[in-house]
Structures are given as C-alpha cells and as structure tokens.
Amino acid sequence: MKPVPQSQAAYSSPHLVEPGVAKSTSPHIMTQQQPPWPSPGSSSSSNPRGKCWLILVLMAVLPMVPDVGALPFLFTHIKPQINWTQPEMESWVIEEQPRSIEPHLEPVLHPNRTHRALSSDSTDAEFLQRLVSMRHNQTASSRMLWYDVAGGDGLVYPPFVDKALKLLNLKQVAFEIENSVMSKVTCTACRAGAGMLQHQIQSGKTDAELIRMITDYCTNLNIQSARVCQGVAQLFGSELIYVLKRVNLSPDELCSFVIGDGCADVYNPYHEWEVIFPPVPKPPRLADLPIPMEAAPFFKVLHISDTHYDPHYAEGSNADCNEPLCCRLSSGRPATPNAAAGKWGDYRKCDTPKRTVDHMLSHIAETHKDIDYILWTGDLPPHDVWNQTKEENLAIIKDTVKQMVEMFPGVPIFPALGNHESAPVNSFPPPYVNQVDISISWLYDELDIQWRRWLPQSVTHTVRRGAFYSVLVRPGFRIISLNMNYCNNKNWWLLLNSTDPATELQWFIYELQSAEFSNEKVHVIGHIPPGHSDCLKVWSRNFYKIISRYESTVTAQFYGHTHYDEFEMFYDPHDLNHPNGIAYIGPSVSPYYDLNPGYRIYYVDGDHDATTRLVIDHESWIMNLKEANLYGYPIWYKLYTARAAYNMKALRPSDWNNLLNELTNNQELFELYYKYYWKNSPARPTCDAECKKRLICDCRSGRSHDRKHFCAEVESKIDEESSKSWKSWFYKGLTNSAEDRTEEPATTTDGYGPFDVVIVNVGG
C-alpha cells in the first residue's frame, strides 16, 4: 500500500475549514495534517421533521417575483457578494486524548437465564386472541401541517397568493419535509426560499427585519398559528441568517447540500472531502461470518430510543390541533370527544406523557431483571420545536437521567445524543464556533456531568468536545457512541464547513484501528441512521467507507430517530453482493405519530473463547395504545422475535441480506414486516408498490442519498410483480377479487392474529 504522506499542503480558501485530519478532494479546500497511527504491538489498546425554516423563508418570495435578483436559482449569472471573515482555528490532537482500556462492565451471573430464540411463544397468540374485541382506530387527524379548505378544515388562503401557492405546491412541500421524503417539489421551493433570503440579506435588511418578514408571511398565510410562526422565526431565523451571511453558495448548492438526491447532485467543492485511512492493510475478509454458538453465554441488552417525554401532556386536551405538537392545555379544548387526548398517549401529533414513561420503565425493570447493559439512543425532549429553551431541555435531560439511575441501579447505560436535545432543535455548532452566545458547550458540558454516572472518566475530553466517546465494555469488546448530528443536514452550521465536524470520523478511524490491533470487536451506537435521508451525503459516504474498511471489527450498529422498527444494510462499495454490516434501528417510545410505544431487547454473543459479538436475536416489545386508553391500563407484550418471525438461522449481514431478497419477492412476508415496522399500529396506512419500494430501499441503503446505486434492481422487481398482480386481478374479475380480499385474511396463519382480521373486516 502506498504510504500516506505525513503532511498535506495547505491551500488558501475563502471558505471556513476547521483544522483536523480529513483531506479535501478539491484544490479549493484546505487540507490538513495526518495524525500518527498506532502500530501493531504498540502500548495503545483498547441513530422528523424539523426543517420549519424552509416553509417560512420561501414565503418571502411571493411579493418579490418581479425582482430578478430575488430568484438567483433562475438567473444564475447573478452571484451574491459575501463579506467573509475567517474565524479563529482550534487544534485537537486525537492520539493525545485518554482512551478507555479497562473493562467497564462486570458481568452478573444469571444461572437460570435462557434465551428461547427459536421456540414458539404461545403468550403472543394468547394476547392476540384477547385483542379480537378491539375496534379499528378512527383517527381523523391529518398527517400534515397543512389542511385543505376543500376538505372542510377551515384554512382559507389569502386570494392574492392562492395562485402562487398552487404553483409552488407548498402542501406537498410541507408533507415531504415532515416525513423526510424529498422530491423535486421540495427542491424547487427550497431554491426559491433560499434565493429570496439571500437576496434580502444582500439588500441590507437587518436581522430583525428579516425575522419580522418571515413571521408576517407565516402568520398571514396561515401556515401555522401566530405563536408557532413567531417562535420558529425567532429560534431558527437568527441562526440561519447568521450562517447564510457567511457562506458563498448558490441556492442550487445550498439545496443539494440540504435535500440530497431529491435536489440533484450538484457538485460543490466546498463540501467534498474524504477521511484519511492509516497505511495498514485490511485483514482478509471471510466468505461469511460464523454463526454464534447455541447455548453459549450472552448479554441481554435493552435498547430505548426517542422517548420524547412531554412534561406538559394533558389528558383530555385537544389532540387534533393545527400545530406540530398537540395534547397540551395550550392546544385548546377538543372540538369532539374523539379529538381528546388519551390517558396514556395518542396516535396523533402527541408525545409521551409521564405516566407512560414511568409505566414502561417499571414494566421493564420487573420483566427484564437480567439486563446486562442499556443502549439509550437519544431524543428525550418533546416536539414543541417552536418554543423550546436550553433550560427546559436541560431539565428534561436531568430528570430522565435521574429516573434511569433509580430504575436500573448498577446497570451500565451507554447513551447517544439525539437531534432534539439542543435548543433550537438540530442546532449543533462544531467546536470552531465557540462564541459564548452560540457555542454548544452549554449542552455538551452538562451531558458529560450526567453521562459520567455510567461512563469512565476517560470519555470527558471527547464528550465535551463533540458528544462522542469510546468505552471498553469487556475484554475484546468495545462500544463507540457517535454524535450523528454532525451528519444531520438540518444542522445549518455544517453549511459553514462540513469537513469532518469535530474531527469525529477521523477519531472514529483511530479508535477502530486501535481496536483492530487489539483484536477487539466494536458495536457502534448513535441517533440518526447513516443511511437516512437526514444524514448528509458526504458524511454518510465517508462513514460507509469506514465500515467497509473495518468490517471485521464492527459487528453491529444501533440507531433510533425514525420511530419505526427497521434496519439498514451495508455492502462492500466495490461488490454489492457482499453484505458487510447491519444497523439495527430501534422503535420509539413516543407514539408520535400513528405508532404504538415500543422498545427493543437484544441478545448479544457474550464472553467465551469463540465469541463473535454478533447479535444472536432481538425482540420488539410494544404497548397497544388504543387498548390502553380504552381500558385504562397499558399492557406491554412481545410483538415478535426476529429469527422466529422471519425464519432466520442467524442475524449475520448475509442473513439480513437474504431476508431483503425474500421481502422483495414474497408479498406475504413483506406484509408481516410492514406490520412490525409500524409496531402493529391500527392506524398504519396501506402500503402500495411505491411504499414497498421505499421501505425495502431504505433497508438496502446504509449510504444516504444514493438510492439509484442500491435500489434499481429492487424497484424493477417490485414493478414487475406489481404489473403481474394487476393483470391477474384484471382477468380474474372484480367479483372474484372482492371475494378473495374478504376471505384471504381469515385463512392466513403465518404471523397474523385475530386482531388483523378485525382490522380488515371493518374496512382497515
């Protein structure tokens, strides 16, 4: 292998570049010095919905259309002039930081503990039988922030903008932003809004004038209530304006950066960079990983994610409001009894009440007394993104940490930072943004204090720098927690410089290389999954390379963020027939929205001579929210176990890849996966061919914004099967088809229960 030079030439650039170790692929970007790597034999051992600004700022375009300068994405010859001031640089030497080298977990002997991975569980069937009397959930609320006047929801657009709104299709934009599914519609709106805001900045308007303009248009167009408009404009507007004043990017470049493949792949030299790998050959890869030994010691691991505890949740309040979060006294009185918030939560846009969090933790502590350690992958505060404060978010963090300590005394907990912990949401300035009023140290310093209840002292330096850390759990087994907000494309600070923020990925490589030298296996935890559309494509691309290089070291990854029960696959970038990694995406505790609350239990290969540190099996547990509100008491039950439900002999990457192929070809199996994906929610919608393509493609894409590369074959197969199904239905005739739809669910036994029959029979 060609040695990597010890230093790289530095190029001057008008763009902000943080000193680190990632190298640029463009001569416009400053490159950095490579860190020294540990050598073999050395002493070193060893996881929806926040782009509110996009809707707000594009409103400003409407009265300014006659001004060509207001639409620079259409008039590309007009280039805004940016007054650039380069901030002070900061340095950080990775290899000088302390490392966790002493095992952190002392295993507890559970002599009677067994894991019945492949045995049938009659309790599930018994519980489903009890659900026969359940009626189909009737939620009248929309899944959008916009409401159609034709549908009787009462929103009337001002006549002078009705035509413009239809042209920009802002309803579709709002839906796509809220669900993180972007298309050309959102791309067009993004370009218009970004271009208009840049034009207004260049015209000399003050920050106060810009924020007032955004607030006025949001309110006048009834996009949201006046208080939401004002809160969002104040919280997000000032930060966004600060960033846009300091970047020299066109609207095309900005929107491609934020939206990704939904807005074309515009080349942007300011945001093209690559991490540097040490000059160490990759170990030979195995044809396939060994299957973990049956009856061998294992760790029982609890995974909790996306609690979104709402201290202001109020039973009986309006659950059908026109704001991003409902079920509070401030949401108003419900218009009908059906619009009232339930006792234990609600399927509509409502987060988790305290009694539900308390009940879940008590249930876990009583049911799973043999938990060895806990993975806690973030998002503790609620979705009231328009009026959050640093003080309130810190209070929620402190309260939940205290509760976890009390409920699970002596159990190690490994946390990861979510995107909702900051105020405003998604705002995570890298270390070079160190001004007192905008620095993120207020959060990271407190996290270090709270997390140190479970973590060793050696993590302090990296937690306070970037909220990431590495801990040796057992000899030969390490957990690395990443701050995935440095890949969050809603984090506007990355527009200043996305080059490996906080030097996190280069530190990640250093930790993995050290683990490889020490024959350690690694589990990675985080919040935003690296293949999700919310993850920045250049960051995700580099992360994907790292996982490929260290595929023999990283044996599992664990994330949250989506609120669904799903997974992501990783493949060799040069051979898509070789799966080399699996990321487990745990279900949310919060029902936000249309979901049942849930959590995950993993069984991980434990301490023995032939351990693989692979996940042996996992279980998803849920609480049926509809039933809990009807009968006044929640019951948590095991929804499914992965190996039994999908008939998998193991949970290696190759086994998950085989399952993906089966999901593509076997409609009955896909419907079972879809049921579990939604945590058996009675509010889940039907899934057509486009829905099926999206879900399976999400599973295949551990690298974000690259669906064309991973999904062409899958989409072609689904389209072909859909075409066959349509022809079969057509020739069969409408009458026979209707009879089939009525009778078929009653004869289905694989993975379905009486509850599903009830849903079908009542029209669900």
| Residue numbering of the annotated binding site for Zn(2+) | 306, 308, 379, 419, 527, 561, 563
Q: Please state whether 308 falls in left (phi above 0), alpha (psi between -120 and 50) or beta.
A: left
- Asked if residues 271 and 17 have their Cβ atoms less than 8 Å apart, the reply is no
How far, CA to CA in Å, does 363 sit from each of 356, 357, 415, 543, 722? 10, 10, 21, 37, 43
β pairing state of 598-605 and 615-623:
antiparallel
Answer yes or no: are the C-beta atoms of 434 and 442 closer than 8 Å. no
Residues 6+ apart with CB under 8 A from 514: 38, 44, 45, 46, 99
- Token pair of 92 as six digits: 């950080």
Q: Which helix (H) or strand (E) holds 734?
A: helix 734-747
Largest CA distance in the chain: 77
For the beta sheet containing 521-525, the strands, ordered from the edge strand earlier in sequence to the opposite edge, are 469-474, 477-481, 521-525, 554-559, 575-585, 566-572
Q: Tokens at residue 713, please?
A: 């074959």
Tokens at residue 714, please?
Answer: 């899958």
- Residue 8's Cβ-count burial label (10 Å; 0-12, 13-18, 19+) is middle
Give 143's DSSP letter: S
Question: Are 620 and 639 contacting, i.e. CB atoms less than 8 angstroms apart?
Answer: yes
373 contacts: CB under 8 Å, gap ≥ 6? 105, 299, 301, 302, 411, 412, 413, 414, 473
The closest alpha carbon to 308, from 267, 273, 352, 343, belongs to: 352
Q: In what order do the strands lie in the sheet with 413-415?
A: 413-415, 373-376, 298-304, 598-605, 615-623, 636-641
Residues 6+ apart with CB under 8 A from 190: 54, 58, 251, 254, 255, 258, 259, 263
Closest to 146 (Cα-Cα) out of 173, 186, 182: 173
Strands 566-572 and 273-274 turn out to be unpaired
Distance CA(242)–CA(231), nearest Å, equals: 17
**Residue 236 DSSP label:** I
CA-closest candidate to residue 339, choices 84, 51, 197, 139: 139
Give the span between the Cα atoms of 675 and 652, in whole angstroms: 23
Main-chain phi, psi angles of 452, to 5 degrees: -70, -10
Burial class (CB in 10 A: 0-12, 13-18, 19+), 550: buried
What are the backbone angles phi and psi of residue 301, rounded to the nearest 5°?
A: -125, 130
Q: Are 614 and 332 in contact (CB under 8 A)?
A: no
Is residue 37 within 8 Å of 510, Cβ to Cβ? yes
Q: Measured between alpha carbons, how far is 223 from 138 in angstroms, rounded to an integer? A: 26
Binding site listing: 306, 308, 379, 419, 527, 561, 563
Please tell me the distance from the alpha carbon of residue 416 to that of residue 413, in angstroms, as a whole number. 10
